[in-house]
């Protein structure tokens, strides 16, 4: 399963990847995600709040419909940020 199957546009992903090459932006994103747990990433309300903070930090507004698709993808993937295998899998998905 990849992000496009959730209706997330490739153009958005490419813009975000480009913005994350900037060290300051990358640090802002890392600070937002610092301490996030697997349980946090299974909580729809918390994921939506994280997504809101991230889109503001990246200056990438997303529609409510797209935000819901992204939230659903995060929940479906059952990401554990402390599991190296999960992080490698994510890396591969967005390469």
Per-residue pLDDT of the chain (95 residues; tens, 9 = 90+): 688 999 999 999 999 999 999 999 999 999 999 999 999 999 999 999 999 999 999 999 999 999 999 999 999 999 998 888 888 887 777 77
The per-residue pLDDT for 31 is 95
**pTM for the whole structure:** 0.88
Exposure string over 31-55, b if 16+ CB within 10 A, otherwise e? eeeeeeeeebbeeeebbbebbeebb
The per-residue pLDDT for 1 is 65
In the DSSP assignment, the letter for residue 5 is G
Q: Report the SS3 class of residue 1.
A: coil
The per-residue pLDDT for 2 is 86
Domain limits, the chain: 3-94
């Amino acid at each position: 399963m990849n992000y496009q199957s959730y209706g997330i546009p490739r153009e958005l992903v490419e813009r975000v990847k480009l913005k994350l090459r900037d060290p300051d932006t990358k640090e802002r994103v890392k600070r937002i995600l610092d301490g996030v747990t697997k349980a946090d990433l299974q909580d729809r309300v918390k994921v939506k709040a994280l997504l809101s903070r991230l889109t503001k930090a990246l200056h990438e507004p997303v529609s409510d419909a797209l935000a819901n698709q992204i939230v659903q993808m995060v929940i479906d993937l059952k990401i554990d940020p402390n599991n190296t295998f999960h992080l490698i899998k994510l890396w591969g998905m967005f390469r």
